[in-house]
Amino acid sequence: MSAMVLPKATAAAADLAPWFGRPHREAGAAPTLCRHRVAAAWGGALLTAAPAALLLGLAAATGSEPMALGLAGLALTSLALEVRRLRSVARVAMVHRDNLARLAAPAVARLVAETDPSTLRAGWEQEATVLFADIRDFTHLCETVSPGDVAAFLAEFRCRVAEAIEAAGGLVDKFVGDEVMAVFGVPHAGFGDTDRAIAAARSLAAAMLGWTRERGRTGLPPVRIGIGLHRGPVFVGAIGAERVEFTAVGDTVNVARRLEQMTRTTACDCIVSEAVVRDATSCEARIIAVQPVRGARAVLRLFAIALAT
């Protein structure tokens, strides 16, 4: 590989005269000054075009001590600028991830940030336990309050619900008004997903009971919820065109929602399918019906589980 050829010192000094003033003519001073000016002349180009390793190599191969020191200084400056650039890139990436986390569950934000977009769009099928919950008599609760108060009520409800679900290891898939959908075992299925879903249902009931007591001190009505649980195959992925949504869909999701809706006409707050009872390691459940469920492909044995602690 051919070595980099630097211009003669006298020529570099002449070219840089307008920047540094007239060169000194004293004996012994001109050679050193010229070498410094040559280093300054090449510094800007080397700093932007040459990596730090090359600059250090040139410094080691240069016989002149001032030139070697100059190149070493440029190498260190180049390294410092590269570190600053990488830190800036990392800060931008962190800001983007934080912004995404405000619009999606933390687990989804991490998954979207770390997974290839084509993989997310292609999606995959897996087993999961789906939970649906919504507020009983929500319309009645909103009849006597302003829209702003309704928004504040929903914000507090969602905060309490998300905390209970995520503490149990679940993923909040979406909120729709006063309804929440959560999945357990997404994006990665694991042993005990159904147990965690049942634990989340009980945590939700306990959270609403505590909230009801707080509200009762100021004369506000209680907050009750109905919950439905079903387990089965779901399709998971980023669904949509220009605006996509990471979600789980399929017959399992539909059945879980129907079970939650059935709590409105039964004397129990949580209805689960036989698939949930079979998959749970321990679940005190009582059978309440054997009937077809709208959206299900077969007649299902339905169970109620107690949520009160």
Q: Report the run of H or E that residue 219 belongs to, with start and end.
A: none
Q: Is residue 100 part of a domain?
A: no
Q: Which domain holds residue 265?
A: 105-305
Q: Based on the domain organization, do 123 and 76 belong to the same domain?
A: no
Q: Give per-residue pLDDT as tens, 123-151.
A: 889 999 999 999 998 888 788 788 898 99
The verdict on 41 and 148 lying in the same domain is: no
Q: How many structural domains compose the chain?
A: 2
If asked whether residues 173 and 142 sit together in one domain, one would say: yes
Residues 74 and 177 in one domain: no
SS3 42: helix
Last residue of a domain, one of 52, 86, 120: 86
Question: In this structure, are 129 and 275 located in the same domain?
Answer: yes
Give pLDDT, residue 51.
Answer: 59
Residue 94 lies in a domain: no
95 within some domain:
no
pLDDT confidence of 89, banded at 50, 70, 90? confident
Residue 20's pLDDT band (cuts 50, 70, 90):
very low
Show which of 40, 57, 86 is a domain's final residue. 86
**Residue 241 Cα to chain centre, angstroms:** 20
Residue 183 contacts residue 170 (beta carbons within 8 Å): yes
Do 70 and 164 lie in one domain? The reply is no
Choosing from 56, 86, 116, the residue where a domain stops is 86
Q: How much is the pTM? A: 0.67
Within-domain flag for 4? no
| Share of residues in the chain with pLDDT > 90 (%) | 36
Residue 99 lies in a domain: no
The CATH number assigned to the domain holding 191 equals 3.30.70.1230
Range list of H helices, the chain:
9-15, 17-20, 30-49, 52-61, 65-103, 106-114, 117-122, 138-142, 147-167, 193-216, 251-262, 274-279
User: Residue 96 falls within a domain, yes or no?
Assistant: no
- Where is average pLDDT lowest: 22-31, 143-152, 290-299? 22-31
Q: Write down the pLDDT at residue 141.
A: 79
Q: Specify if 59 maps to a domain.
A: yes
pLDDT at position 204 is 95
81 lies in the same domain as 109: no
User: For the segment 48-58, what is each residue's pLDDT rounded down to a tens digit?
Assistant: 545 555 555 55
Residues 155-212 pLDDT 10s? 999 999 999 999 999 999 999 989 999 999 988 888 899 999 999 999 999 999 999 9
Higher per-residue confidence, 2 vs 227: 227
One domain, residues 203 and 71: no
Q: How remote is the C-alpha of 225 from its chain's centroid?
A: 28
**273 shares a domain with 130:** yes
Whether residues 35 and 150 fall in one domain: no
Lowest mean pLDDT among 32-41, 92-101, 124-133, 211-220: 32-41
138/258 same-domain check? yes
Cβ–Cβ < 8 Å for 270, 263: yes
Quick one: 74 and 209 in the same domain? no
**Domain assignment present for 61:** yes
User: Once rounded to an integer, what is the mean pLDDT over residues 16-29?
Assistant: 44
